[in-house]
Amino acid sequence: MAAPELLSDEGYRADGRRPAELRKIRARMGVFAQADGSAYIEQGNTKALAVVYGPHEMRGSRSKALPDRALVNCQYSVATFGTGERRRRPRGDRQTGELALQLQQTFEAAILTQLHPRSQIDIYVQILQADGGNYCAGVNAATLAVMDAGIPMRDYVCACSAGLAEDTPLADLSSPEEAVGGPRLVLALLPASGQIALLQLSARLHQERLEAVLEAAGQACRALHAVLDRVVRERLREVTALLGD
Amino acid sequence: MLTSRTFLKRTRAGAVVKVVREHYLREDIPCGAAACRLCPPRPAGAGRGLEAQPSGAASSLCPGPHYLLPDTNLLLHQIDILEDPVIKNVIVLQTVLQEVRNRSAPVYKRIRDVIQNPEKHFYSFTNEHHRETYIQQEQGESSNDRNDRAIRVAVKWYSEHLKKIEDEEKIQVIFLTNDRTNKEKALEEGITAYTCEEYIKSLIANPDLVDRLACVSDEGKEIESGKIIFPEHIPLSKLQQGIKSGVYLQGTYRASRDNYLEATVWVHGDAEENKEIIIQGLKHLNRAVHEDIVAVELLAKDEWVALSSVILQDDGQNEDDIENEEEKENILKTSVNKDMLRPTGKVVGIIKRNWRPFCGMLSKSQIKEARRHLFTPADRRIPRIRIETRQADTLEGQRIIVAIDGWPRNSRYPNGHFVKNLGSAGDKETETEVLLLEHDVPHQPFSQGVLSFLPKMPWSITEQDMKYREDLRHLCVCSVDPPGCTDIDDALHCREVENGNIEVGVHIADVSHFIRPGNALDEESAKRGTTVYLCEKRIDMVPELLSSNLCSLRSNVDRLAFSCIWEMNHKAEILKTRFTKSIINSKASLTYAEAQMRIDSTTMNDDITTSLRGLNKLAKILKKKRIDNGALTLSSPEVRFHMDSETHDPIDLQTKELKETNSMVEEFMLLANVSVAQKIYEEFPEFALLRKHPAPPPSNYDILVKAAKSKNLEIKTDSAKALAESLDKAESPEFPYLNTLLRILTTRCMMQAVYFCSGMDNDFHHYGLASPIYTHFTSPIRRYADIIVHRLLAVAIGADSTYPELTDKHKLADMCKNLNYRHKMAQYAQRASVAFHTQLFFKSKGIVNEDAYILFVRKNAVVVLIPKYGLEGTVFFEEKGKPTPRLDYNNEVPSLTVEDTTLHVFDKVKVNIMLDASNIQHQKIRMVLVEPKV
């Protein structure tokens, strides 16, 4: 058996997408009533849930409170049933810890934390089903959840991954594509300003190609932004209709 | 932005986990027909697609315009037909392509090339992603059946789709399949389907295509007598189970060159025992062909045999003569020594066929007007192949290429089909072609695509080129090469600097300036890997404009170079090393003899000569140092032909003579290579391309030590240094040639030096040169490895930018693999070319007697070396039709007693040399011992 091809000569990926195409996105905001904000997103088979509490007073040790801005506290986890093989993952292992930290950095950059000094914002992200681009789905869900909670942000944070097949950049990698093991770039972008909240690269990528891959990831993030924006407006219309009654 | 598409889940329940894959079905995949207005336009650059008015061969079966759509098996077996320019407008389905890809990489590559060719109008249709042609595997349906159904669905879709195109002429889609059930099903569904044979035979005015038709007919309808000769092959799935449980062993099948009823199988894996398994007898060989990957079952111990030393050639003309074979098999079993018995087995199944097209000749059938003939391959390890052709008369006496199609159980020989005619046998051009093909040397002229990347003539050095270069045109640089050399890739200079030290420079042609990474020129050179020097011609790695002109460091013209400049003291110790891209202007291109003459001359005192003298002095010191470190000076007889300038026939043979200047140039090249290796490894520890020469295992030296002992000499082999020293001491006053013979023997004990990527290995040592690190830098015109090293070095000194493939160690490792393979094949091709010219030489010379030395002693023969011609040959003591002489072989003191004469290693003998032309395919040099007479 030959190794799997990322991109056929005809220009189709194994799942039928073209290089720049994203997987199908479905999203909902306000899935839980008791949390301050919540959202659910599906990107292909990757499903993520995000819940936001806050801003509220500091819990636990008050000494951690920051005098000039709010503390963003993030947790990231993958459900035991989220992968093909059921596996218990106690939180706090190195990988999820690192991803939680990245999530925190991403949202500290996006949320206007200085509006809520000495308070805390909690973001909990759980991946219900993992099929590639888990972190990105988590960020996108969290953006919607933060908006649902009504916390002021600079902009949307849209995250998307991109890879490389020979010379062609591929947007939004699925798990079989990630498994091939090429370079993978994860970008979290504030689309309106074009500012980068997070940029991560795993495996080697030659400098000459960085620009092309980054551009593909940026395009994908902007496309994602359009979808998320539609979801937010839809939600807004629903809520205002309710209020109007 | 994104169109909303139907979303399907494809579940594949494996043994362990359930895998869920998304599968997006599309509506925007074009059908590829030029006249189609229903489909979205095809993306640019995706080939030309199918013609609106299909041209191509007219068929009597379907006179109207039509497209062809082959299934997987047809494509796999009949690729030769599909590649013919007559066949155009073929739709290749993605399902078919994927199946081909999994089953045969070479065929996949070929069909991809055909699809790329705009003249052929092949179109690959991505049916698996198309909404209307994708089908799901049904419960209980095998994946093969599912794929067959998918193909039929696609054919149906196409015929309906093409009907919708409103055109005067309706284009038909013809489904080609050789599978009977598939064809029946297709016909039931209302699809026009033919077998390949039906279609090709219906082609008007192209009867010769029928010859190329692969004969894979359905099993049932063999015309042969129904007698089954071979046992059945076990299916692959069962083989894999058997291999896992250890019932069967997997290995590479290697047919014996001398005995067609015998073969060995090299078992893959680590187990020391059972490394090699003997297979004996037609039934046990069971249709395996040389180089196939096979599964073997071991026989019971009492059935084990020893390798027979009998030479048997398959010359039976009558194919059904099986009884005869059994008789022959009995010959093998006689006289077996008990402790010589080795594991013996039988082939139970084929894991992977490794068939390639074979060169050879037709043995015409004796029956007049017969269509079936036997083909005898040039390689004796390949069985004869039965082909069907109507042009036997024209093909007789010609070298032809034939491909194997299959080997049914009831046939003595495999079936094949004719591919190409190379020309008449014995002809020099034809034989060279055969030699190149058999050694897989890419030798086609460079394509237009490749040539388009050459610099435009007239070429001159521009300001741009000067940017990162040092101008060294003022230096007194000269080159020293063999006479008649047109691809000069190195030049030297040497001068004294103010502080009394000596500056030495090695200047290498800057090929990487002209060959930019990733373009067609670069890819072609990488594929060729090396320039191949045959006796009368050179197969260039880079186009001639570069090899003989722009890159060649000819005298008195400005040339771009890559320079390695050292500052040394008078003890030849390196004080400073510097690398730079440069421009040089060589003052003289000398031959070794001319340079030697200048050094020795007492009257000449010009710049060039003093520079040469300085170089020579340093080279001697360097050489001494190297040898003190334990570098080996080995010897191998090299010959050169004096060619007739008009007929290019060899008129004289001469062994190469080595002058002091040869070693002078060599010494500085070695030094440059070592310096560069250090630099690139320091800069790129993970992906430096280096060359290593592993130390041989001690057992390799057995033969050398024994041979030396017989002459009362001791050879120490515990280290390279000890070996070098003991070789130096091994002199015999009454036998001056002994030392050279010992060195030749030592060469035979060595391992092959190989290229490797530094990140993938941790043993860098070069045994022969006694250097901890080594690479190739000095011959970029004729070796691709040097081009890569140039690029690495250019990046290291900031003269050039890097590119992605250069810093990918897996790609580099793959490249090393190809380069090592090409180098090996080039070497074999060179040897074969020398052998062929030796034959030509002795053909014209007639029978001669020459002095020779015995190099090896075998059980029934001795290998002799004739120093005058550098020629090595085997003297057999058994002859057909004569009683075998009494032979007594002694392994301890390598010697062979024939009747009453005892022959030892290194004995001086006289042999009679003549050309044996009894077999036109395998003309060979025959040697007979004249003195001592046996």
Of A9, A204, A226, the CB nearest to B1: A226
CA B161-B166-B172 angle, 5° bins: 50
- State the DSSP H helix or E strand holding residue A228, giving kind and residue range, or none if neither: helix A207-244
Question: What does the pLDDT look like over A219-231, one tens digit per residue?
Answer: 999 999 999 999 9
pLDDT at res. B428 = 80
Enumerate residues 163 to 222 of chain A having a beta carbon within 8 A of any beta carbon in chain B. Answer: 174, 176, 204, 206-209
User: Is the Cβ–Cβ distance between B902 and B886 less than 8 Å?
Assistant: no
pLDDT of residue A25 exceeding 90: yes
CA distance B759 to chain A (A): 14
| Helix B428-438 / helix B809-845 crossing angle, nearest 10 deg | 150
The top-level CATH class assigned to B236-439 is mainly beta
Of A12, A85, A176, the CB nearest to B21: A176
- Residue B161 backbone phi and psi in degrees, to 5: -65, -45
pLDDT at res. B732 = 75
**Which chain A positions have a beta carbon within 8 Å of B111's beta carbon?**
none
Locate A221 and state its tokens.
């993030």
User: Is the Cβ–Cβ distance between B151 and B130 less than 8 Å?
Assistant: no
User: Is the Cβ–Cβ distance between B206 and B88 less than 8 Å?
Assistant: no
Structural domains of chain A ordered from first start: 20-243 (3.30.230.70)
Tell me how far apart the alpha carbons of residues B81 and B72 are, in angstroms, rounded to a whole number: 14
Q: Give the residue ranges of chain B where pLDDT is below 70.
A: 1-17, 43-48, 55-57, 166-169, 205-207, 214-227, 269-274, 307-340, 365-370, 634-658, 879-883, 918-922, 934
- B101 with A2: Cβ contact below 8 A: yes
Tell me how far apart the alpha carbons of residues B89 and B109 are, in angstroms, rounded to a whole number: 19
Place of tokens 């590119």: B803
| Helix B592-600 / helix B660-683 crossing angle, nearest 10 deg | 110
| Superfamily covering domain B846-931 | Nucleic acid-binding proteins (2.40.50.140)
Please determine whether the domains at B236-439 and B846-931 fall in the same fold group of CATH.
Answer: yes
- A206 with B807: Cβ contact below 8 A: yes
Reply yes or no on domain B2-212 having CATH 3.10.150.10: no
Give every strand in the sheet of B901-904, ordered side by side: B887-890, B895-898, B901-904
Tell me how far apart the alpha carbons of residues A110 and B481 are, in angstroms, rounded to a whole number: 69
Q: Which residues of B834-855 are buried (b: 16+ CB within 10 A; e: fewer)?
A: bbbbbbbbbbeeeeeebebbbb
pLDDT at res. B222 = 43
- A204 with B808: Cβ contact below 8 A: yes
pLDDT at res. B219 = 43
A242 pLDDT band (50/70/90 cuts)?
confident
The residues with which A43 forms a beta bridge, in sequence order, are: A25, A46
The count of CB pairs under 8 A between chains A and B is 68
Residue B195 CB-density burial (10 A; 0-12 exposed, 13-18 middle, 19+ buried): middle
Tell me how far apart the alpha carbons of residues B756 and B766 are, in angstroms, rounded to a whole number: 12
pLDDT at res. B297 = 86
The residues spanned by each domain of chain B are 2-212, 236-439, 489-688+770-826, 846-931
CA distance B180 to chain A (A): 27
Q: Kindly calculate the radius of gyration of chain B based on its CA atoms and give it in whole angstroms.
A: 32
Nearest residue of B to residue A86, measured between CA atoms:
B17
- B807 with A23: Cβ contact below 8 A: no
A127 three-state secondary structure: strand
Q: Measuring CA to CA, how many Å separate B173 from each of B66, B111, B162, B170, B177?
A: 5, 20, 8, 10, 13
- A23 with B22: Cβ contact below 8 A: yes
pLDDT at res. B822 = 92
- A206 with B102: Cβ contact below 8 A: no
Within 8 A by CB and 6+ apart from B192, the residues are B62, B159, B172, B173, B174, B175
DSSP assignment string, B151-165: HHHHHHHHHHHHHHS
Tell me how far apart the alpha carbons of residues A41 and A51 are, in angstroms, rounded to a whole number: 12
The mean of the pLDDT values for chain A is 89
Question: What does the pLDDT look like over A54-103, one tens digit per residue?
Answer: 899 888 777 888 889 999 999 999 988 888 777 776 666 888 889 999 99
Enumerate residues 217 to 236 of chain A having a beta carbon within 8 A of any beta carbon in chain B. Answer: 223, 226
Nearest residue of B to residue A132, measured between CA atoms:
B21
CA B616-B618-B621 angle, 5° bins: 110
Please tell me the number of Cα atoms within 13 Å of A18 on its side-chain side.
Answer: 14
Question: What does the pLDDT look like over B30-51, one tens digit per residue?
Answer: 888 877 777 777 765 555 677 7
pLDDT at res. B323 = 53
Place of tokens 């032909």: B641
Question: What does the pLDDT look like over B117-154, one tens digit per residue?
Answer: 888 888 888 888 888 888 887 878 888 888 999 999 99
| DSSP state at residue B548 | I
